[in-house]
A = this chain, B = another copy of it.
Amino acid sequence: MRQAASLLKIETRGAGFHDVTAAARRFLAEQRMQTGLLTLFCRHTSASLLIQENADPAVLRDLERFLERLAPEGGAYEHDSEGPEDMPSHLRAALTQTQLSIPVIGGALALGTWQGVYLFEHRRRPHRREIAMHLIGE
């Protein structure tokens, strides 16, 4: 049994989804593990992680619009030091995931056929984001 850890750095282009499935698979492939557990951890509170459909990009657009309505800009927020989209970003992050663990079975991530792993940027402007990756197994 052994472990590996790495920091995945991502330059987002502003609000929206950034597919990190290939980067996660690459990290696993480098470690050549057959069975294990891969954990992705987003080191931010205004960006988050989500597993969603990778086939029709309209699913991701609908999801983004849904969260924009659910946690809108222009709400009466106490925290607004970084502008009107600051607090909605925290709310949207709180409703999705900071961390995801994916089993490794038969040398591959146990993702379903239609599942992609996404970094979900909630701020409008581009940001440098970090995902801590941890793998344990053999």
Contact = CB atoms under 8 A, between A and B. Distances in A.
Interface of A: 1-3, 5, 7, 35-37, 39, 41, 43-45, 50-53, 56, 58-59, 61-63, 66, 70-71, 75, 77-79, 81, 87, 90-91, 93-105, 110-112, 114-115, 130, 132-134, 136-138
Contact of A59 (B75, B79, B100, B134): B79
Q: Which 9 A-B pairs have the closest CB atoms?
A: A43-B112, A103-B134, A110-B132, A58-B79, A58-B78, A51-B98, A45-B53, A5-B105, A103-B132
Contacts of A75: 66
Contacts of A52: 45, 90, 93-94
Main secondary structure of the interface of A (DSSP, over half): mixed
Nearest to A79: B58
A42 to B, nearest CB: 8
A64 to B, nearest CB: 10
A56 B81 CA distance: 9
A5 B98 contact: no
Contacts of A77: 62
A81 to B, nearest CB: 7
Contact of A37 (B45, B111, B136): B136
